[in-house]
A and B are shown apart, each in its own frame.
Chain A
Amino acid sequence: MSLLMRASEIIKRPVVTLEGEDVAQIKDIIYADSGGQVGGFTLNGRGFLSGTLKTALAWGAVVALGPDAVMIRDEDALTNRDALIAEIVGKNGVGGGDVLGSRVLTDDGKDLGKVLDVVIEVTNEGRSFANVVGYEIEPAKNLGADLKKVLVPLPDTIAASGQHLIVPAAALDFVTNDLAGFGAAMRDFRERLAKAAP
């Protein structure tokens, strides 16, 4: 089973234990693997006056990233925030992978637009993963002036600098404007890339 969601929808989602207690809410996503995967989350406390927590949630401690809540076993699933960020960022070589605002360029030099949101696919086959599978972009003029936001599928691995994100030119053929049709477009796109590979 897989579930597609926007990163912005995950922000503020409550973190709930299997005992039914809400212990935190998602502040931000810590990206791993050069922005290709969700490595964990920084957290805010619950309620209006509570600020950023010193604890964070590693992806490995997540029981389920659901549409309405992030489930964890118990409060012990939370770890030290700075240590977790250091661990994840240390593995990547690059910083947390904040891609919002970056320009998406095709490998043949076409500017597709500016990244507004990140599309995440959560799969629950065996071990669960949260992969970054697409970006929602504010399209550049050459994609058509009538489009407000479009979704661009991503290959398994991409080059990202914080300034630019490079996607294969073929991604342009699989651009969709809603999340419902995006799953199929993303799979077709990756299939084509796999076939094209020597």
Chain B
Amino acid sequence: MKFSEAEGRKVVSTTTAETVGKIADYIIDPKQKTLAGIVLKKTSGNEDTIPWDSVDAFGEDAVMIKDDDVLVVPSGRLAELTDKSLREHEKLVLSTAGADLGKVDDVEFDPKTGALTALLLKDTTIDARRLLAAGSYAVIVQA
């Protein structure tokens, strides 16, 4: 599944059956090459982030969580990773050889495990196994 496909998807509590919010953005862990969390919009409180571990099911039509008390304000490790958004400002992709490969257009992931599978650039697809880091200037991939 692509990040763009699931953007705006509703997040529903299995306890109350109410919509808690909609997917606005993703927090990734470049070292683990996984999703670390999902950022929501239209939530009722300040807490707008679901750690990936609290996602019960990432379904085709809705993302299911237990209740809205799994929502957090990112802190610690999750807050650090919040700065490492992959698509923000169409982030540049640099290889370890210092070559500009393009800009991240979209990201593909496995909705069952949260594992990132590919970085989609305008003209090419990069295997997410090559992902090394995401900084404020560029995403670094193995040459």
Chain A interface residue number, banded: 10 to 19
Question: In the bound complex, do residue A22 and residue B96 qualify as a contact, i.e. CB atoms below 8 Å apart?
Answer: no
Candidate in A16, A17, A70 with the most chain B CB atoms within 10 angstroms: A16
Is A65 at the interface (CB under 8 A from chain B)? yes
Give the complex CA separation of A63 and B133 in angstroms.
15
Q: Interface readout for A176-197 with B: 1 if CB under 8 Å, 0 if not?
A: 0000000000000000000000
CA distance A22 to B100 in the complex (A): 14
The answer to whether B137 touches A14 (Cβ under 8 A) is yes
Q: Is A68 a contact partner of B133 (Cβ separation < 8 A)?
A: no
The answer on a CB contact under 8 Å between A70 and B98 is: yes
A70, closest chain B residue (CB): B98
- B134: chain A residues within 8 A (beta carbon): 20
Indicate if the CB atoms of A20 and B140 lie closer than 8 Å: yes
Residue pair A69, B100 in contact (C-beta under 8 Å): yes
Shortest CB distance B83–A (Å): 11
Q: In the complex, how many angstroms separate the beta carbon of A46 from the nearest chain B beta carbon?
A: 8
Question: A66, B140: Cβ atoms under 8 Å?
Answer: no
Q: Are A67 and B100 in contact (CB under 8 A)?
A: yes
- Whether B136 contacts A66 by the Cβ 8 Å rule is no
Beta-carbon contact of A20 and B100 below 8 Å: no
A-B contact pairs, 12 of them (CB 8 A): A16-B135, A16-B137, A18-B140, A20-B133, A20-B138, A64-B96, A64-B97, A66-B98, A67-B98, A69-B100, A69-B138, A71-B96
Taking A66-B94, A67-B98, A69-B100 as known contacts, 16 extra A-B pairs with beta carbons closer than 8 A to each other, sorted by chain A number, are A17-B135, A18-B133, A20-B136, A20-B138, A21-B135, A21-B136, A22-B137, A63-B96, A63-B98, A64-B96, A64-B98, A66-B99, A67-B100, A68-B100, A69-B98, A69-B138
